[in-house]
Structure 1
Amino acid sequence: MKYLSCLKLSGVATRTTALKHVWLKVWLWVFLLTICIFLLNAKPPVHARQLANPVPTTDSSINWITPDHVYAPYIKTVHLYPSDMPLNYPLITLNSGQTLTLGFDDLEGGVKDYYYTIVLCNADWKPANLNPFEYIKGFSENRITQYHFSTFPLQHYTHYTLTLPNSNCAPARPGNYILKVYLNDDPSQPVLTRRFLVVNQAAQIAGKIEQPINPKIFQTYQKVNFQVDTRGLNVNNPFDQIKVWILQNYRWDNAIHDIRPTFVRGSVLEYNAENDCEFPAMKEWRWIDLRSFRLETERVERIDENNNQIVVYARPDASRANQRYQQRRDIDGRYTTEMLESGYNPDVDGDYATVHFSYVTPEPFANAHLYIFGELTNYECNPSNELHYNPATRAYEGSLFLKEGYYDYIYGLVTPGSHQLNTEPTEGNWWETENTYTILVYYRPIGGRADELVGATVLNSITNR
């Protein structure tokens, strides 16, 4: 009996031990599965255009419609900028007294009833889940009342201006905003939209530009290393509550975001992972000086005036991909309306011209569209700024209708199904290039319904190394 009892106890112990082994294996598999799921869901930094779903395209059908878009073909020279700094990005500090100025020309002339509103968006430029009265001080819809008729130009137009914030409309909270202008108090008739930013600087940002460690891109890319101090915020989970976007030369099409901090040291978030935040360095922007249609400047081949129309032919361009870097002061893709003749106001005295561009290459690019690109094209790739190959001249050709001023631009390729502009074959990349980087830090409070822009700083690849 004692022997049988011992056998029974031994059997129970054996089964218990076996069950323990089974449960250990189960827990081990669950643990490994959890780790795998976490790794699969971990997102590396991405460029803004990589988020967009590829849209099948045919010839001349590529059409980027961004929050910086002009919907009416008769609206030209749309410019939104800090009122005292026309070459800077439209970014102001909340309740600081800083203002933005919007200017645009209506080539149909006369006086029209243009209205405007502002829309609060999250970091990804999707509208925030808030009512207008929660983010607007004043009225949500207002009429643009400032306009002037052109004076001397061959191309007649009406120039409209707007200053924000104003007594009728002002942003009430930090974040991303879209300024929307539309006709006849009807929001379904938009004529233009423009992005602008409002920051409260609750977070402090410090950073610098370095050469990447990766030998494959050491000479052609630039890397942004930075840290964010969030001590002025109630941050419990920085991985969920903090978002960072980095812009190169104020462009959103190649912005990098979804960046996870490398280290969290108390309230300080450090972003310096080896392969994060790396941008193709490009080269200095191309340029054309159109500040006078009476002078043939360095980049202008000839100017014709026929039937009260001005036609400018720019000197032919070609690939710079294999050319060594040449330092030249540029305006990082922006433009400014100016006139060389003294005593004139470019807003109402500046004329317009059809400007012909050409890009010389022995053969057309295979399975790719060529675009001229910059603020002069609203940083979009559309049929209006596409160049087409002419076998007779062995060059891509296209034209833009531009006002007297000074313009930066580049050429880039877009392949069907892609939403990323590729400038490497047309411009090349060089580490020494001067570029401007804007770091934007967004914060979502616990239970909050919108992203707040709590930090913004600008770094220069030359002065902030």
Structure 2
Amino acid sequence: MVKFLYQKILLLFIFSSATAQVIQTEVAPPYNIKTVTFVQNGSNVVPIFELGSEFELQFDDLFGNEANYYFEIIHCDYNWKPTDILKNDYIAGMDNQRIMNYLNSFNTLQNYSHYKLSFPNQFTTQLRISGNYMLKILNEDREVVFSRKLLLYENRATVSAQVKRSRNLSNIDHKHNLDFTVNSNDIVFQNPIKSIKIFLMQNGDFNTSIKNIVPQYTLGNQLVYKYDAETQFWAGNEYLYFENKDIRTVSNNIGKVGLNSDIYSSFLFTSPARANLIYTLNQDINGNFLVKNINGSDNAIEADYAWVYFSLSAPAFRLNKDIYITGMFNNYNLTPEYKMDYNSDKGTYEKAVMIKQGFTNFQFTVADKNGQVDYENAIDGNFYQTENEYTILVYYRESNDRYERIIGKGNANSINIIN
């Protein structure tokens, strides 16, 4: 009996250890879950928050049956592997609790239940340490419905950054290069080549991230990164957008509105592929979106959903790849729900997507069958004049630390690009 118990405990330990090493990846939500977003101070934001600040996760369930959802929080390392830190050490309180804050839609054609998970909440009073977190939403059977990355940082280091044009003449008109420095007044960096890690991101899209960049050189306690190819991003083009704050009327970039089904349909004007056109300034919000119903008072539950019909004319597109509609409204997900179909009669790519009304930025993304995005051959091209928002995060782990802290955050915008 003792031998059997020992073998069982050993197997459980081996299984737990193997599970702990599994890299955590975001799980895209099913069709009925829409408008998943992190909110701070009333605005949709990229999920990077200062440690101790307040924020929310919000989402809609189109089934509208007040289903029970639960949340789980997992602390991860730089490479998104779960750390071996006890949950009580990074959560003050508990997770695996039911989301209590939800309301049903009001005066909308599309019924839905709107859920709001605040941090802190009555169960989780505080996330205690900085770093990478995976926030999972579970159903009653404790199956993962969807998950989202969440990053918390400390203000222990300053990051000064500048966007420059590429030094390589072959792509000087198509790429942005980040030069930046990292400094701290209260941390003396120990062996920064190994203890410091950098994370670079463009417009809140985790798919564009650049990692594992070591300091080029140091000046005392200042770390200097003045690379060329290692810190370059394809510049892309300005985001496209549509506005249907009044869902019954045509507005910016909407050519026709219909009511052929149970909800309204918004037909966008056909977008031409812009890769071979000259750059044109088009004010955007860098992929973000705003939920808004001008005829309602509470946008969270009074904004309706509409079928939005996208159309793209790209006659020169001959790659054996797919085209997706992406933006922060769908977390840049490359799922079948957002893959465009080719209409041979019209010679255009088309797709209908159900989106909550308001103001929405979107782009056309080219990717292969494995989901690998082709930024170089973007449908709308790459122009150095494009205005992009860049984020720099600094991870640090001293020799006696149990985890990698995020000790600083910096931002840079290409509107101030220099040669």
Matching residue of 2:32: 74
Task: Pick from 309, 316, 323 the counterpart of residue 263 of structure 2.
Answer: 309
- Pairwise CA distance, 1:380: 1.6
Q: Deviations over 1:50-85 (max 9, x none)?
A: xxxxxxxxxxxxxxx984443332111111122x15
1:326-345 counterparts in 2 under 5 A? 326-341=280-295, 343-345=296-298
**Greater than 6 Å deviation, 4+ residue runs:** none
- Pairwise CA distance, 1:296: 0.5
Aligned length in residues:
395
Matching residue of 2:252: 298
Larger Rg: 1
1:168–1:376 distance in 2 versus 1, CA, 3 Å: same
Q: Secondary structure at the match of 1:384?
A: helix
1:431 is aligned to 2:376 = no
Contact 1:282 1:424 in 2 (8 A): no
Matching residue of 2:133: 177
Greater Cα shift, 274-283 or 153-162: 274-283
1:363–1:223 distance in 2 versus 1, CA, 3 Å: closer
Gaps of 5+ in 2: 1-22
Contact 2:243 2:358 in 1 (8 A): yes
Contact 1:231 1:268 in 2 (8 A): no
Aligned mates of 2:341, 2:258 — CA distance in 1: 22
- Please tell me the residue identity of whatever aligns with 2:308: V
Q: Percent identity?
A: 28
Contact 1:305 1:311 in 2 (8 A): yes
1:365 is aligned to 2:318 = yes
Aligned mates of 1:421, 1:165 — CA distance in 2: 39
1:11-410 counterparts in 2 under 5 A? 67-82=25-40, 84-95=41-52, 98-169=53-124, 170-184=126-140, 186-187=141-142, 189-341=143-295, 343-362=296-315, 365-410=318-363
Aligned-CA RMSD value: 2.0
Contact 1:148 1:158 in 2 (8 A): yes
Q: Secondary structure at the match of 1:73?
A: coil
- Please tell me the residue identity of whatever aligns with 2:174: T
Q: Deviations over 1:22-41 (max 9, x none)?
A: xxxxxxxxxxxxxxxxxxxx
Aligned mates of 1:335, 1:72 — CA distance in 2: 20
Matching residue of 1:415: 368
Aligned mates of 1:283, 1:445 — CA distance in 2: 40
Contact 2:36 2:329 in 1 (8 A): no
Contact 1:234 1:445 in 2 (8 A): no
- Please tell me the residue identity of whatever aligns with 1:450: Y
Alignment TM-score, normalising by the size of structure 2? 0.89
Matching residue of 1:3: none
Alignment TM-score, normalising by the size of structure 1? 0.81
Aligned mates of 2:414, 2:83 — CA distance in 1: 33
Contact 1:94 1:198 in 2 (8 A): yes
Contact 1:317 1:359 in 2 (8 A): yes
- Pairwise CA distance, 1:129: 2.2
- Please tell me the residue identity of whatever aligns with 1:256: I
- Pairwise CA distance, 1:106: 1.1
Contact 2:34 2:59 in 1 (8 A): yes
- Pairwise CA distance, 1:352: 1.0
Aligned mates of 1:162, 1:294 — CA distance in 2: 31
Aligned mates of 1:86, 1:124 — CA distance in 2: 28
Q: Secondary structure at the match of 2:201?
A: strand
- Pairwise CA distance, 1:459: 1.3
Contact 1:289 1:405 in 2 (8 A): yes
Aligned mates of 2:257, 2:62 — CA distance in 1: 22
Aligned mates of 1:225, 1:297 — CA distance in 2: 40
Aligned mates of 1:68, 1:290 — CA distance in 2: 29
Contact 2:161 2:411 in 1 (8 A): no
